[in-house]
């Protein structure tokens, strides 16, 4: 049995938590996030956020841990933020950005241009002799993860040469080619 929902969430200095009957608003130095909730109760005691469930049926148990994790991610996001790095592995794969527009060359006939949300900050790093890197930063963990997954979906790493868009540090399961 999981006990994730029972552990309290520590609220660091500079993070403001507002609890309403159906939603929680957490704001900090990096931004503000809102999450609606149901079937649980949320209360703030000193510098801790406590999530509790009304009864022990399966739906309440699952939502107990879910909402506790979502609130913890929100607190971390508005205080520290989240960063995801993507690496472009392949000959001729390039990335550049101008403001919130990200332009990626992945071997297709045309470059891919993506207009990113204002909450996600993008930075591209291109060094000679190294693979280009796309650095995505945001205070919203769900949003930055969805954007990174969308960019990765344009050219997933293939198992023979390992070419494609991958997370930095991701291990690609390689296959052997044809044997002579």
pLDDT tens per residue, range 105-142? 999 999 999 999 999 999 999 999 999 999 999 999 99
Q: Cα–Cα distance between 76 and 69 in angstroms, integer?
A: 11
* pLDDT more than 90, % of the chain: 84
Compute the chain's Rg from CA coordinates.
Answer: 21
Q: pLDDT band at 11, cuts 50/70/90?
A: very high
Q: For the residues 163-167, what does the mean pLDDT come to?
A: 95
Residue 5 DSSP label? G
Average pLDDT of the chain, as a whole number: 93
* Residue-range domains of the chain with CATH: 4-79 (3.90.930.12), 82-167 (3.90.930.12)
Sheet holding 9-10, edge to edge: 9-10, 48-53, 40-45
Q: Cα–Cα distance between 83 and 139 in angstroms, integer?
A: 9
Written as six digits, the tokens of 13 are 């200095």
For residue 1, pLDDT beyond 50: no
- Give start and end residues of each alpha helix (H) in the chain: 58-79, 141-153
For residue 148, pLDDT beyond 50: yes
Q: For the residues 96-108, what does the mean pLDDT come to?
A: 94
The pTM (predicted TM-score) of the whole model is 0.89
User: How many residues are recorded in the chain?
Assistant: 180
Q: For the residues 18-33, what does the mean pLDDT come to?
A: 94
For residue 2, pLDDT beyond 80: no
* pLDDT at residue 165, as a whole number: 96
End-to-end CA distance of the chain: 52
Q: What is the pLDDT of residues 29-74, one digit of tens each?
A: 999 999 999 889 999 998 999 999 888 888 888 899 999 999 999 9
Contacts of 26 (CB under 8 A, 6+ apart): 15, 16, 17, 18, 32, 33, 34, 35, 71, 74, 75, 78
- Give start and end residues of each alpha helix (H) in 96-178: 141-153
């Amino acid at each position: 049995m999981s006990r994730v929902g029972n552990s309290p969430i520590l609220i660091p200095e500079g993070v403001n938590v507002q609890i309403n009957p159906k939603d929680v608003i957490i704001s900090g130095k990096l931004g503000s996030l809102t999450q609606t909730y149901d079937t649980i109760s949320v209360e703030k005691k000193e510098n801790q956020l406590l999530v509790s469930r009304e009864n022990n049926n399966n739906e309440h148990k699952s939502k107990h841990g879910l909402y506790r994790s979502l609130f913890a991610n929100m607190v971390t996001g508005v205080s520290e933020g989240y960063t995801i790095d993507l690496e472009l592995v392949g000959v001729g794969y390039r990335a550049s950005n101008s403001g919130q527009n990200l332009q990626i060359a992945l071997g297709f006939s045309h470059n891919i241009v993506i207009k990113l949300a204002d909450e996600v900050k993008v930075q591209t790093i291109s060094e000679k002799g190294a693979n280009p890197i796309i650095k995505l930063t945001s205070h919203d963990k769900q949003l930055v993860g969805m954007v990174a997954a969308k960019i990765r979906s344009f050219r997933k790493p293939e198992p023979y040469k390992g070419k494609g868009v991958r997370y930095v540090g991701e291990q690609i399961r390689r296959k052997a080619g044809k044997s002579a």
